Amino acid sequence: MRSNALHPLLLSLSLLLAASPLAATDSTGLGPDDAAWLKRDGFGLDTNAVAQYHALGRKTLLANQLGERIADTLPPAITAQIASYEAFYTSLPQLLSDIQQEQQQIKAMPEGPDKAAANKALQARGNQLGLQAQQAEMLHAIYGPNQLKEQLVWFWLNHFSVYAAKGRARWELADYEQNVIRPHALGKFRDLVMATLQSPAMLEFLDNAQNAKGHVNENYARELMELHTLGVNAGYTQQDVQQLALILTGVGIAPIDSKPEKFGPKMAPLVVKSGMFEFNPQRHDFSDKVLLGKPIKGSGYDEVQQAVDLIVQQPACAQFVSRKLAEYFVSDNPPPALVDKMARTFHHTDGDIAAVVRVMFQSRDLIANAGKKFKDPTQFVVSSVRLAYDGTPIANAQPLVGWLNQLDQPLFGRITPDGWPLDNQSWSSSGQMAKRFDIARAIGTGNNQLFTPAGSTARGAGFPMLTTRLYYDAIEPTLSNATRDALAKATSQQEWNTFLLSSPDLNYR
């Protein structure tokens, strides 16, 4: 290998500035179109993804993914790792009961160092539960065999964003990911909206747990229409927000103390409970409402269901959701004809997410934009680890979370409810690229603690060997000449790995 005359970081940045779209070169493995399609289908290539594609073909693979006929089975070591997390082996009701009991005990303590220490311990436990939820989501993204579903889980987590640091959200995140978003990622959009509406994490983040007759809080009603379903320019009014807020009064979280609530004979039949969700009719405004021009008679929880049905059936909802999906998977400015076709499918299938995604993945627009969609930090980290370690189970997911923090896209870390931006411009600054080079070097040199269990002093695995059959069959044929020249200048395998992972070709998809 020739000596490299440029500082590695400067070389990487100069390559990004000079980057050209995906090269088209013949391959004995994947053809350019196949590789381009697979890079949109999943977070990044690994041997299993390529083998699935070869074995099933594009049409059958897509059908199996959308029909969830690919077993959602993680490697045993990864399954065991997630199962060891308190956030996943303890039910949400138990976690919330624990925090309430601990808070009551701390409140009864006299002021002093013991009370301060107890408060600190409670916060540390909450932080650990939040960290476990972040780690589990990253492990699913890396090792999940249905990569299209894994991308959609992440997409919906970002679309229906909640902020970990608010209230008890850290305690609720594992439930939100595992029981709210994941089961509905490929189902009906209405069911997904209803699942988030009933989620303690969402109800607390957007304050609807405090929304009651006489004390109306409009936060969730506004974001439900603006960010989750219709979009800001959908034609609804402030009055619609106010009416939806009234409809949502009483939608909250069930008390977790042992004493049962008392409801009179009129109210008791109107109570709705599901897990930690509760519709409390005593907190509900039973006046008649008008939402989006449609009258809704005051009747209790049925108002909520009618309102969600009305909202998701709006043409603006089909357009908004279809465009958001196309912006993530296809292009920052997706072809209007594609978005329209997706929206028509959304409307005709009553918001079937799988059907809408199928239209997008069968479109030539998906491949026509290959090599032009810049990876957001999550895509960059997950795709780099998938390629570098190619299915080998890691023992410590903390570095993954730390890298997203460094790249300014922490999972569940967006303070505002709009979710992280997913366009090219938001993540392609020189500062971002400098951080990406450092992370590429940590992965490429093996200096990353991924194979060192948390709390252990044992040495982890060495650096990965990226010059594998996967590389030669699926990566090398698509590399630009600039990246090939840079790789030829590497002075060691570790440096070669770093140059590849930080190259323009692997920062775009």
pLDDT in tens, 258-293: 677 788 999 999 999 999 999 999 999 999 999 999
Share above pLDDT 70 across residues of the chain, in percent, rounded to a whole number: 93
- Mean pLDDT, residues 111-140 taken together: 96
What are the tens digits of pLDDT across the range 303-322?
Answer: 999 999 999 999 999 999 99
pLDDT (tens digit per residue) in 207-237: 999 999 999 999 999 999 999 999 998 999 9
Q: Which helix (H) or strand (E) holds 144?
A: none
Tens-digit pLDDT profile for residues 326-346: 999 999 999 999 999 999 999
Contact assessment for residue 312 and residue 322, using Cβ atoms and an 8 Å cutoff:
no
> pLDDT grade, residue 411 (50/70/90)?
very high
Stretch 74-78: mean pLDDT = 97
- Using CA atoms, how far apart are residues 143 and 139, in angstroms rounded to an integer? 6
Q: How far is CA 422 from CA 186, 326, 330, 373, in A?
A: 20, 11, 11, 10
| Structure confidence by residue, pLDDT tens digits, 4-24 | 333 444 444 444 444 433 333
Whether the Cβ atoms of residue 349 and residue 360 lie closer than 8 Å to each other: no
How many of the other CB atoms lie within 10 Å of CB of 77? 12
Pick from 343, 371, 357: which is nearest to 23 by CA?
371
Residue 446's pLDDT band (cuts 50, 70, 90): very high
368's tokens: 């026509």
Across all residues in the chain, what is the average pLDDT? 92
pLDDT of residue 258: 62
Amino acid (1-letter code) at residue 25: T
Contacts of 364 (CB under 8 A, 6+ apart): none
User: What is the distance between the alpha carbons of residues 40 and 260, in angstroms, rounded to a whole number?
Assistant: 50
User: Which conformational region is residue 166 in: left (phi greater than 0), alpha (psi within -120 to 50 degrees), or beta?
Assistant: beta
Query: Is there a contact between 235 and 216 (Cβ–Cβ < 8 Å)?
Result: no
Nearest to 317 by CA among 355, 279, 282, 344: 344
Closest Cα partner for 12 from 471, 509, 409, 440? 440
What is residue 8's predicted lDDT score, i.e. its pLDDT?
45
Q: Is the pLDDT of residue 1 over 70?
A: no
Over residues 405-429, the mean pLDDT reads: 96
CA atoms within 13 A on the CB side of 242: 6
Mean pLDDT calculated for residue range 367-389: 95
Cα–Cα distance between 509 and 497 in angstroms, integer? 18
Please report how the helices 336-348 and 315-329 are oriented relative to each other, as an axis angle in degrees rounded to 10. Answer: 130
Residue 30's pLDDT band, with cuts at 50, 70 and 90, is: confident
Q: What are phi and psi of 289, to 5 degrees?
A: -130, 165
Tell me: pLDDT of 97 over 50.
yes
pLDDT attached to residue 461: 66
Beta-carbon-side half-sphere exposure of residue 482 (alpha carbons within 13 Å): 18
Tokens of 351: 């918001």
